[in-house]
Amino acid sequence: MKLTSKGRFAVTSLVDMAINSNGNKPISLSEISQRQNISLAFLEQIFALLKKREIVKGIRGPAGGYIFARDPSFIMVYDVIDAIEEELKITRCNGVETSCLSTKRKTKCLTHNLWNNLTDHISFFLSSVSIKDVRDNSYESLFKIKEKDGFESNNQRNI
């Protein structure tokens, strides 16, 4: 799956904004950079893309920074990842339903449908979780894995 630091940092920075927002007071990228240990230059790239997709608004001036363009409960994690131009895809398919890059043949690989379905489930999950949900840690019930034959999800396992 291709989810890079750019995608993780975009979500992290918006959750930071949701935690630290004080009404409509803008939050500077340097504040987020210091709190989350993310390069300021990298945040500037990320926020330019988030602003372009109207997830955040930039406020100019000495007390400037960024505010949410809409309520964080309506900003889905999937939309953030999509806004920064990340592609959620586990298969190595070339976009054609009949072939995979992992095979030299022009047919689907044997496990194509498995990985394609997993990608769909991940996309559905991330489309169901808002920035507010992550801030409040209230998304756990969305991905409870039913225990089967002694299997426990990582969240339930005592390590």
At 41-79, the pLDDT tens digits run 999 999 999 999 999 999 998 889 999 999 999 999 999
pLDDT tier, 159 (very low <50, low <70, confident <90, very high otherwise)? very low
Please, what is the end-to-end C-alpha distance for the chain in angstroms?
A: 25
Could you give the domains of the chain?
5-137 (1.10.10.10)
Q: Is 155 left (phi over 0), alpha (psi -120 to 50) or beta?
A: alpha
Residue-level length of the chain: 159
Q: Which residues contact 22 (CB under 8 A, 6 or more apart)?
A: none
pLDDT of residue 93: 64
Q: How many CB atoms lie within 10 A of CB 26?
A: 19
Measured CA to CA, the distance from residue 6 to residue 86 in angstroms comes to: 8
DSSP bridge partners of 27: 66
Span 15-37, average pLDDT: 94
Span 4-16, average pLDDT: 94
User: Tell me: the pLDDT tens digits for 113-156?
Assistant: 888 888 888 889 899 999 999 999 887 766 555 455 555 555 54
CA 71 to chain centre: 17
Q: Are 102 and 147 in contact (CB under 8 A)?
A: no
Mean pLDDT of the chain: 82
- Name the token pair of 145: 């894995």
For the whole model, what pTM was predicted?
0.79
